[in-house]
């Protein structure tokens, strides 16, 4: 028996379990990637009979894909912008003030992200119907904003709570009014939180489908395009091509957000 | 002469908690005024009301004769040095110092020139382009001071500014602050819980207790003539003799304070000066404090009295713990006290 075993090292069993877990999470994505290049267009036959870039050309030429992609990007952009403004305002309102029912308001605010998307979707759909609003671009944006705001809010309020009250007081003491204090002292401090929250919100909006199904009307965002493709199994590799593109588009902001909020990089020189 | 700062019957309640009650004081221009008290006594609340970070629930605050009770902090000609320095971590030292000019729209080159000038006052010009995170505690303290001085305030408020520094640096900064105050002729309001700091720096000291001013006097008066038991204990840690004990010692049922350094410790047989007040007791222990030792004696009348003796006395003749000793002091050394807080 070795008595000098390093107890900080995980056992072989734990290592295998960890790699199995990671494989389970990531292999399906690699399958999608692989079958974006297959020459077989109907079945997932393994190994693929041949590899081709043909489907990228086909997908590139399809106007319906481009329309869906443009709509999804537009929705994500507008929903994120709304979330940045409203989420930041809400975070400022709730970070420092104390009033009756503050906890309740906080809970109500965070609820949309905990609520099943299907409930949010049905609720918004009935609300739009009651208000006589035609579903379309703006109803999708509104639906997405409900959870995008929470993402931004959570990021910003976490940062605000770490800022000492004395920074705001010092700024005011030196002659800065509220707007100047926000611009010169608070904004630089919450900038990375805003960026991270915004990117996360963008990524969430970009691939959202449940709420979108209820609020989209006749519009087709990219996830809805996918959903429809499933019922028409023609040219299956095209779906995979688009899926790979979506993975890449959402991966970039999520990785950036992760880097920006990692401890140690958020407060340089504090 | 108009007071630089005047508080008129100022009170501040937080819900059911009274942080400050009926505080009235006037600080003369150019005065070094200390607010002294234990934590939670209301001294910081008082400072925040003067700065404008907080508003009183009653009474009014006047700066230079003008009522500023409802004026926001950025419209008051008062600047603050914060206990945690509150330097902005994303700005360089020079930008921190120039902040007060920036928000007033002073152009960048003029700002920088003034910032370097004020940094010169605290001997930190060479650190102008560092970030606050790269400075030591003492350097941060100086930057905070320079930043507060750049707007040439009439009043500088300092909230325990030396609290986070080590002893040597603290003593150095005390001298420096005092010199700076003389040179600039600015009114200083200085919050501290350190009575030594207040005694050595201030022209006048307001001693706070439970939201009220217990005594407001010059340091010497405060030390020599404390009015209440609280002030006697807090400023210079005097012995306070309660009324019933005083009755047994002097025949008069009035509490009094006696400074440890004014009590003589004798062996019971030793002759006593005529007219001195004496009492016998048992020496409980001796605490060594460097320049002097503190002798704790439980007197026969009940309480423990502390006597301070210089270290120079020859060790052989010193009584040991458990020995009977005689304490003696002259009647003039005892300071009669009023019971409870004084009526303003």
Question: At B163, which helix (H) or strand (E)?
Answer: none
Helical packing angle, A63-96 and A222-229, nearest 10°? 130
Collect all residues of chain B within an 8 Å Cβ-Cβ radius of residue A179: none
Residue B5 has pLDDT above 80, yes or no: yes
Interface contact A264, partner B, CB < 8 A:
no
* Fold annotation for B5-234: Rossmann fold (3.40.50)
- The helix/strand/coil state of B340 is coil
**What does the pLDDT read at residue B344?**
40
Q: Specify the DSSP class assigned to residue B235.
A: T
pLDDT class of B101 with cuts at 50, 70, 90: very high
- d(C-alpha B198, C-alpha B167), whole Å: 15
At A269 the pLDDT is 35
Token pair in block for residue B114: 């003034």
Phi-psi region of B87 (alpha: psi -120 to 50; beta: other; left: phi over 0): beta
HSE, CB side, 13 Å, CA atoms: give it for residue B80: 31
Could you read off the pLDDT of B148-199 as tens digits, one per residue? Answer: 999 889 899 999 988 878 888 888 889 889 999 999 899 999 999 999 899 9
Q: How confident is the model at residue B342 (pLDDT cuts 50, 70, 90)?
A: very low
Q: Are B132 and B143 in contact (CB under 8 A)?
A: yes
Higher-confidence position of A261 and B290: B290
Domain boundaries, chain B: 5-234, 248-336
pLDDT at B244: 83
Quick check: B28 and B1 in contact, CB under 8 A?
yes
- H-helix or E-strand containing A66? helix A63-96
Q: Whole-angstrom Cα distance, residue B211 to residue B319?
A: 44
Q: H or E element: which one contains B146? A: helix B137-149
B131 to A250, B82, B118: CA distances (angstroms): 36, 18, 17
- Written as tens digits, the pLDDT of chain A (270 aa) is 455 566 777 788 899 999 999 999 988 888 888 888 887 776 667 777 778 888 888 888 888 888 998 999 999 999 999 999 999 999 988 887 777 888 888 888 888 888 888 998 999 999 999 998 888 899 999 999 988 999 999 999 999 988 998 999 999 999 999 899 999 999 999 998 898 899 889 988 988 889 998 988 888 898 888 888 877 766 778 888 888 888 887 788 778 877 876 655 444 433
Q: What is the rounded (10 degree) CA torsion for B255, B257, B260, B264?
A: -60
Res B343: pLDDT: 42
CB interface of A with B, residues 181-200, below 8 Å: 184-185, 188-189
Chain B residues in contact with A270 (beta carbon < 8 A): 89, 133
pLDDT at B79: 94
Choice among A35-39, B68-72, B126-130 with the minimum mean pLDDT: A35-39
Residues from chain B that touch A162, judged by Cβ atoms under 8 A, are none
Tell me which architecture the domain covering B248-336 has in CATH: Beta Barrel (2.40)
Average pLDDT in chain B? 89
The answer to whether A163 contacts chain B (CB < 8 Å) is no
- Between A169, A185, A268, which is nearest B88 by CB? A185
Residue B74 to residue A267, Cβ atoms within 8 A: no
* Residues with Cβ within 8 Å of residue B221, at least 6 apart in sequence: none
Q: B317 falls in which pLDDT band (50, 70, 90)?
A: low
Residue B341 has pLDDT above 70, yes or no: no
Q: Which residue has the higher pLDDT, B34 or A101?
A: B34
Q: What percent of chain B has pLDDT over 70?
A: 96
pLDDT band at B44 (very low <50, low <70, confident <90, very high): very high
Of B78, B89, B147, the CB nearest to A267: B89
**Contacts with A185 from chain B: Cβ below 8 Å:** 88
Choose among A169, A186, A170, A171: nearest CA to B103.
Answer: A171
In the sheet with B32-36, reading across from the earlier edge strand, the strands are B78-81, B155-159, B187-192, B32-36, B204-209, B212-217
Sorting pLDDT into bands at 50, 70 and 90, what band is B340? low
Q: Supply the pLDDT for residue B54.
A: 92
- Report residue B8's pLDDT band, with 50, 70 and 90 as the boundaries: very high
DSSP string covering A105-150: HHHHHHHHHHS-HHHHHHHHHHHHHHTTPPPSHHHHHHHHHHHHHH
CA atoms within 13 A on the CB side of A108: 7
ipTM of the complex: 0.82
Residues of B in contact with A169 (CB under 8 A): 51, 53, 73, 80, 82, 86
The pTM score is 0.79
**Residue B63: band (very low, low, confident or very high) from pLDDT cuts 50, 70, 90:** very high
Cis peptide, bond prior to residue A47, ω within 30 of zero: yes
Which residue of B lies nearest to A166 if distances are taken between CA atoms?
A: B86
pLDDT tens figures, B253-280: 888 999 998 998 888 777 788 788 888 8
Mark yes or no for CB contact A169/B148 under 8 Å: no
- Tell me the nearest-neighbour CA distance from A102 into chain B, angstroms: 17
Q: How many Å apart are CA B177 and CA A13, to the nearest integer?
A: 65
């Amino acid at each position: 028996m070795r008595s000098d075993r390093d107890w900080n090292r995980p056992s072989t069993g734990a290592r295998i379990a960890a790699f199995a877990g990671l494989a389970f999470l990531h292999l399906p994505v690699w399958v999608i990637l692989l079958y974006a290049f297959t020459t077989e267009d109907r079945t997932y036959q393994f190994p693929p009979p041949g590899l081709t870039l043909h489907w990228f050309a086909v997908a590139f030429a399809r106007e319906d894909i481009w329309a869906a992609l443009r709509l999804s990007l537009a929705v994500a952009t507008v929903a994120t912008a709304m979330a940045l403004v409203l989420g930041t305002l809400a975070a400022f309102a709730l970070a420092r003030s104390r009033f009756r029912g503050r906890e309740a308001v906080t809970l109500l605010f965070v609820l949309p992200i905990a609520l099943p998307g299907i409930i949010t979707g049905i609720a918004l759909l009935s609300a739009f119907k009651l208000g006589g609003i035609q579903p379309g671009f703006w109803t999708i944006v509104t639906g997405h904003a409900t959870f995008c705001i929470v993402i931004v809010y959570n990021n910003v309020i976490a940062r605000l709570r770490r800022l000492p009250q004395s920074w705001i007081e010092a700024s005011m003491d030196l002659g800065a009014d509220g707007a100047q204090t926000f611009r010169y002292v608070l904004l630089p401090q919450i900038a990375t939180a805003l960026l991270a929250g915004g990117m996360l919100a963008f990524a969430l909006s970009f691939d959202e489908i449940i709420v979108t199904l209820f609020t989209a009307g006749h519009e087709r965002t990219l996830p809805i395009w996918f959903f429809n493709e499933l019922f028409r199994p023609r040219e299956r590799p095209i779906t995979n091509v688009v899926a790979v593109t979506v993975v890449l588009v959402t991966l970039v902001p999520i990785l950036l957000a992760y880097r920006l909020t990692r401890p140690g990089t958020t407060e340089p020189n504090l | 002469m108009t007071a630089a700062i005047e508080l008129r019957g100022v009170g501040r309640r937080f819900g059911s908690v009274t942080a400050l009650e009926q505080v009235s004081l006037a600080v003369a221009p150019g005065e070094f005024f200390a607010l002294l008290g234990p934590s939670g006594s209301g001294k910081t609340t008082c400072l925040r009301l003067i700065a404008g970070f907080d508003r009183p629930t009653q009474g009014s605050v006047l700066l230079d004769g003008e009522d500023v009770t409802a004026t926001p902090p950025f419209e008051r000609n008062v600047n603050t040095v914060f206990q945690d320095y509150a330097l902005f971590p994303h700005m360089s030292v020079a930008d921190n110092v120039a902040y007060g000019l920036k928000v007033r729209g002073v152009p960048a080159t003029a700002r920088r020139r003034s910032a370097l000038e004020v940094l010169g006052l605290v001997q930190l010009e060479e650190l102008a382009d560092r970030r606050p995170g790269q400075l030591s505690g003492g350097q941060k303290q100086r930057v905070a001071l320079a930043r507060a001085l750049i707007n040439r305030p009439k009043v500088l408020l300092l909230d325990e500014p030396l609290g986070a520094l080590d002893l040597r640096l603290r003593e150095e900064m005390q001298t420096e602050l005092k010199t700076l105050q003389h040179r600039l002729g600015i009114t200083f309001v200085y919050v501290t819980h350190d009575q030594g700091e207040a005694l050595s720096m201030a022209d006048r000291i307001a001693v706070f207790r439970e939201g009220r001013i217990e005594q407001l006097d010059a340091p010497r008066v405060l030390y020599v003539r404390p009015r209440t038991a609280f002030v006697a204990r807090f400023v210079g840690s005097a012995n306070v003799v309660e009324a019933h004990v005083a009755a047994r010692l002097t025949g008069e049922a009035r509490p009094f304070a006696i400074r440890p350094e004014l009590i003589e410790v004798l062996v019971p047989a030793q002759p006593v000066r005529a007219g001195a007040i004496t009492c016998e007791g048992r020496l409980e222990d001796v605490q060594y404090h460097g320049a002097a030792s503190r002798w704790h004696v439980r007197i026969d009348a009940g309480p423990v009295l502390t006597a301070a003796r210089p270290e120079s006395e020859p060790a052989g003749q010193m009584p040991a713990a458990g020995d009977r000793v005689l304490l003696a002091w002259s009647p003039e050394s005892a300071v009669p006290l009023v019971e409870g807080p004084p009526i303003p």
